[in-house]
A and B are shown apart, each in its own frame.
Chain A
């Protein structure tokens, strides 16, 4: 079983709509959680950290459910520039980052 699992998508989203997707992780001792964004043929870039109480950054909202071991990302009022692959990242033991394979989001005009 993979340590971090994501729905690969693609999620096709009309511009202005809301999209949400989850990620599950297997290690209950995981300490920190992040969403990264990766554009085609580029390196991943930190989008936001995910806090236990949930947090929001502009149009992006992240939630953490430790009991069910999943995190979620919601994007409101989608923009064309939001088209990317969103990587779920979990920080496990020894500070290592475990990456999901990513969820592709395609925002259409």
Chain B
């Protein structure tokens, strides 16, 4: 199956710093990428949907100025958590899709904000 990578897999940072997470589709062109967040024992919650070359669409309750998404190419999307706080600690997962085909998930990034 298709492969989606995320980097870094794990990050620990101090409160107030910004963290960038990269999501790459390795063997296909992703017209759409999705960013999810999952807290322990909870479901994946969609944060935003990004289409290559256009602004991301954020879900209700997700601050676009705090979670900056850039989908600069058909194989790369980045999520930047700006001025991270302990409550932003979570498991961030991206997924990528070509057209209306199956979504493929990245391995996730664990963020811990101290």
Q: Which residues of A contact B (CB under 8 A)?
A: 4, 8, 41-46, 87, 95-97, 99-102
Measured CB to CB, the closest approach of chain B to A16, in angstroms, equals 28
Residue of A nearest to B91 (CB): A41
Task: Choose one: A43, A96, A99, A100; the contact of B107 (CB below 8 Å).
Answer: A43
In B29-50, the 8 Å CB interface with A consists of 34, 36, 41-46, 49
Given A8-B41, A95-B100, A101-B41, A43–B46 Cβ distance below 8 Å?
A: no
By a CB distance below 8 angstroms, the chain A residues around B102 are: 46
Interface pairs A-B: 5 shortest CB-CB = A101-B43, A99-B43, A43-B105, A99-B44, A43-B108
Q: Are A96 and B44 in contact (CB under 8 A)?
A: no
Do B105 and A44 have beta carbons less than 8 Å apart?
yes
CA distance A44 to B91 in the complex (A): 12
B contacts, CB < 8 Å to A? 34, 36, 41-46, 49, 91, 93, 100, 102-103, 105-108, 110
B38 to chain A, nearest CB (A): 9
Interfacial chain A residues near B103, Cβ < 8 Å: 97
28 A-B pairs (CB sep. < 8 Å): A4-B43, A8-B41, A41-B91, A43-B93, A43-B105, A43-B106, A43-B107, A43-B108, A44-B44, A44-B93, A44-B105, A45-B105, A46-B102, A87-B43, A87-B44, A95-B100, A96-B46, A96-B49, A97-B34, A97-B46, A97-B103, A99-B43, A99-B44, A100-B43, A101-B41, A101-B42, A101-B43, A102-B43
Contacting residues, chain A, for B41 (C-beta < 8 A):
8, 101
Nearest CB in chain A to that of B49: its residue:
A96
User: How distant is B110 from chain A, measured CB to nearest CB, in Å?
Assistant: 7
- Bound-state Cα–Cα, A101 to B3, Å: 24
CA distance A4 to B107 in the complex (A): 23
CB distance from A97 to the nearest CB of B (A): 6
Closest to B107 in A: A43
Looking at the assembled complex, report how far the CB atom of B112 sits from the nearest CB atom of chain A, in whole angstroms.
13
- Nearest B residue to A94, CB-CB: B49
Q: What distance in Å separates the Cβ of B108 from its nearest Cβ neighbour in chain A? A: 5
Q: Which residues of A contact B107 (CB under 8 A)?
A: 42-43
